[in-house]
Structures are given as structure tokens and as C-alpha cells.
Amino acid sequence: MEPDDLYDLVLEATRQALNEELGGPQVPLTRRLVEGSVQIVDGEGRLVKDVPVATLLSKVTAVRERLRVLEQKLNNHPSLEPDERADLQAYITRCYGSLTTFNVLFANERDKFVGMKGR
């Protein structure tokens, strides 16, 4: 193997490991929210937390990646009966449906969450 090929392999493996550790690949944020933030305000109008939209998107995509891993493990689990697998899969699908609120953050349609209606 050539040194350049080895370098490319190591670089790609490192990128993959970092993506997994950080919750998945970078997903583009919709343009109008790039500089935005989400403010959490209490009942008396006091700012409790101000989160950059990019940070929120990162956390939401991390949840999605973890749900995907859970889904893969569920589908490949050797001792689950088909009805148990289907029941658990339905819960995961409902989780995706609950996360559709965050679709406004995603620039690309393919990155958006799909719940029961979209399957």
C-alpha cells in the first residue's frame, strides 16, 4: 500500500470515528437559521437559556443517529420474536414522528424526520 493511500485510509477512519463520537455526520442547517438561536424563557419572561440553532441541530441529529443505531441493533437482535421486533420498531417510528417538529432546522429534505404517516 502506498503512503498516500494509507494516509487517506487513516484520515477517513478518523473522520468516521469522530462523526460517531459526536453523534453523526454534519448535517447542513437551513440558511435562514444559521445565525439564529433558541431562547427558553420562563413564565415570568426571564431568559433561562439561549442555545445557538447549530448546537440544537447537532443535538437533534445526535438523537437521530442513536435511534438509527438502536434500530439496527433491534433489527439484528437474534432472540427477538417478529412481533416483539415490530412492536419495538413502532416505538422508534413514533420517536421519529415526535422529532418532526425539528424538521424546520434541516436544509435538505433527506435529513428530515419521518413519522408514521411518511412510512
Question: Sign of the C-alpha dihedral, residues 22, 24, 26, 27?
Answer: negative
Please check whether residue 51 lies inside any domain of the structure. Answer: yes
Number of domains comprising the chain? 1
pLDDT at 25: 58
Please check whether residue 36 lies inside any domain of the structure. Answer: yes
pLDDT in tens, the chain (119 residues): 777 777 767 766 666 665 555 555 567 777 877 888 999 999 999 999 999 988 888 888 889 889 999 999 998 999 999 999 999 999 999 998 899 988 888 888 988 888 776 55
Please check whether residue 17 lies inside any domain of the structure. Answer: no
Please check whether residue 9 lies inside any domain of the structure. Answer: no
Please check whether residue 15 lies inside any domain of the structure. Answer: no
Kindly list the distances between the CA atom of residue 77 and the CA atoms of 81, 82, 89, in Å, as whole numbers in the listed order.
Answer: 9, 10, 12
Please check whether residue 31 lies inside any domain of the structure. Answer: yes
The reported pTM is 0.66
The residue range of the domain holding 90 is 26-118
